[in-house]
Amino acid sequence: MKNRNLIFLISVLLWATCKITYAQEAPAEDHTYKPLTLKLNNTGSKYVRFIMWHQFWVTATQNNPGTRDVNNQLIDGTNGTNPWSTDIALRRSRFLAYAQVSPRVMILTHWGINNQSFINGATVPNNPSPTSTASNQGKKPQLFLHDAWTEFRVVSQKLYVGVGLHYWNGVSRLGSHSTLNFMTLDAPIFNWHNIEATDQFARQFGIYAKGQLGKLDYRIALNKPFVNGTAPALVQKNGVAVNSFTEKYATTGYLNWMFWDKEFNVLPFYVGSYLGAKKALNIGAGWYHQNGGSLYKTATDSTSQAHTAIGADIFLDLPINKEKGTAVSVLATLYYLDYGKNYLRNIGILNEHTTPPPTATSFAGGGNAQPTIGTGTIGYIQAGYALPKLKNGTSFMPYATATYKDFERLRDPSFQWGLGMNYFVTGHNAKITLEYQTRPVYKVEGTDIVKDGSRGQFILQTHVFL
């Protein structure tokens, strides 16, 4: 109860500050700034652009059944325990630099860390046993490359070719989404369908081509996915497909028809909401395919199975009153994933209490883990409305999300939702977001995996980028 009161108090204080700002209607402040750019010639046509950002989370999580803390004590609501746990964590800390070194050549480097909490971040295992002597569970995470690629112009606007560790992804708009301008607090995660399995934080090595042909924006790539998963000889004969070692290439792509304003495509990062700065209506579709990505075994059978993901989406970002700054933003996406018979991954973002089954009675494990990616279908929609700007230039944007998942391995499909509010201090460059989100809980019942209610999580995020 104390933990829940703490997060509630922080949220109330923060929102009270925002409301005071609203009530005072202070004079408009100058929030403009010049991007951090270094000119490489007199005209500025050759340049280096630097971007840096931090996203901090304050969380209150209603833990899954069977969750235990670092001292192996139950924190799941049973036996009079408090099911809520809190944390202050670093969701992302990144630095990106890209340079137009000539009219035909670009280079980009992007590095940083993700998901450091009081226990996650170091190389020692999470959730130590009560007798563990490890003393640095959450300290000193390793910096790593997110993107490292070079690009060459072949035909201006129409065709560019690049190679490296890249983010020119397929399947959906959300698959190449920028983390700087989400309309919601964060991505739903299943949009990165190989996240930390056969990719490096949504990136793979590959050769890509991209460009715009009139209203058509396209990106396609031939990638060499990372070897990750289980060696074929060690795959269990349990009728569940899992990632298996292979050296086969993958193809991926995304085609996007822009009915109204054209979008920026120098970089791969799609914008979450333009907050009324653009009038956008886009329809897109994409794919990802790798032969032999999974291995499926039973007592009598062993089958190599492909990884295939197909997606289609529609994106609307429409200014309502440009003078007042009002706008509506909607994104709807439908996915079909076939990663092999009964394939399923449970994921929890910044999950500090990853108690594994059977100690955790939840099928997904402890903390905030849930079935996230698997063979089956996923439907997702997000919608928000930017309210009129205040006299001091700040603004609010309430939003809602809804997700439907129907995975082959689970007997019951699930529905989950989220509600949130953005407070834009200076657009996406500096904002504060509060979101409540639900997630399904599953349990094993005989030979079935069945739905066992749902639990929730409050997240307060501060986001600043330059």
**Model pLDDT for residues 290-339, shown as the tens digit of each residue:** 999 999 999 999 999 999 999 999 999 999 999 999 999 999 999 999 99
**Both tokens of residue 432?**
């504060």
Largest CA distance in the chain: 74
Give the separation between CA 397 and CA 275, rounded to whole angstroms. 9
CA gap 185, 191 in Å, rounded: 14
* Both tokens assigned to 254: 């995304």
Would the pLDDT of 13 be above 60? no
Domain locations along the chain: 2-26+35-125+139-465
CATH of domain 2-26+35-125+139-465: 2.40.160.10
Q: How high is the mean pLDDT of the chain?
A: 92
Name, in order, each residue with C-beta under 8 angstroms of 197's C-beta and a sequence gap of 6 or more: 228, 229, 243, 345
7 pLDDT exceeds 90? no
pLDDT digits (tens, 9 = 90+) for 216-231: 999 999 999 999 999 9
The rounded distance, in Å, linking the Cα atoms of 453 and 271 is 34
Query: How many residues are given for the chain?
Result: 466
372: DSSP letter: E
Q: Say what the pLDDT of residue 127 is.
A: 44
Residue 441 and residue 451 in contact, taking contact as beta carbons nearer than 8 Å: yes
Tell me the pairing of strands 37-39 and 47-62. Answer: antiparallel
Most confident stretch, 122-126, 160-164, 355-359: 160-164
